[in-house]
Amino acid sequence: MSKTSIELKGSNFTLLVMYLYDHDINLISESIYKKIQECPKFFKNAPVIVNISSLCNKADWKKIQEIIISYGFFVVGVSGCKDKKLKKIIINSGVPVLSESQRKNKNIIDDIFNISQENTKKDIIKKIEKTHIIDLPVRSGQKIYAKHADLIVVNNVSAGAELVADGNIHVYGIVRGRVLAGADGDTTRKIFCTVLFAELVSISGEYWLSDQIPEKFIGKSAQIYLKNKFLTINSLS
């Protein structure tokens, strides 16, 4: 019997979600530009979902899409659309409209692009069921997600790689990629690493880009956690 040439399976991906709270094209453009300047390499060619739930039905999707694409993003979907006419326009532009249930496992940094309004988050605490252990190098482009679990990597993590866990994350090696713990909203989770060169670290949605990590901890062992809702870093030694 010959094997099938394709196979469709469910999977988990972490995606940026760009929340738009104002339909003003100039404001959107300015906000995206400022965010990109924080870490150009991190956002380059990044796939993004655009949430328009706070925009009115008269939003000009064509112009919004053009602005986002002009900054090098790939729009892979739109969420929060409540108007049938607008939904049709979006679909005709070649972009799928996602329901909230389709993106219930949302990325921990999906508030990274809130524009012109603060996004209030609720803490969702889930039981940590098990621990995932990775003893091979995590290469650039690889994404590992430990759902309802801690994640332990006993090797190096390359730039461009991504570690995501609902629990704690331990890296016993050099970490140069992105590390996101407490992905389900648990504010008590921590990141532990022996050699810190991360592009981004995040606990329950609070994040630092590489240039925000205190310089004295770069290349050193460290633990990162939330204290009074603010990211805090201490030496492990």
pLDDT of residue 100: 59
Task: Summarize pLDDT for 99-127 with one digit per residue, the tens.
Answer: 754 444 444 344 444 444 333 333 333 44
3-state helix, strand, coil in the chain (%, to 5): 20, 30, 50
**Mean pLDDT across the stretch 138-144?**
88
pLDDT of residue 116: 43
pLDDT of residue 202: 92
**Mean pLDDT across the stretch 44-59?**
84
Is the distance from CB of 144 to CB of 137 less than 8 angstroms?
A: no
SS3 143: strand
Alpha-carbon gap, residue 188 to 71, rounded angstroms: 35
pLDDT of residue 120: 32
Vertex 13: Cα angle to 202 and 57 (nearest 5):
90
Task: Summarize pLDDT for 145-203 with one digit per residue, the tens.
Answer: 888 899 999 999 999 899 989 899 999 999 999 999 998 888 999 999 999 999 999 99
Is the distance from CB of 101 to CB of 117 less than 8 angstroms?
A: no
Sheet harboring 74-79: ordered strands across? 16-19, 47-51, 74-79, 97-98
Rg (CA), the chain: 19
pLDDT of residue 41: 60
pLDDT exceeding 70 applies to what percent of the chain? Answer: 81
Longest dimension (CA), the chain: 61
Q: Using 50, 70 and 90 to split pLDDT, how confident is the model at 129?
A: low
pLDDT of residue 39: 61
Does residue 153 or residue 54 have the better pLDDT? 153
**Mean pLDDT across the stretch 64-88?**
91
Domains of the chain are 16-103 (3.30.70.260), 130-235 (2.160.20.70)
First to last CA, the chain: 59
Alpha-carbon gap, residue 72 to 123, rounded angstroms: 32
pLDDT of residue 119: 35
Is the distance from CB of 164 to CB of 145 less than 8 angstroms?
A: yes
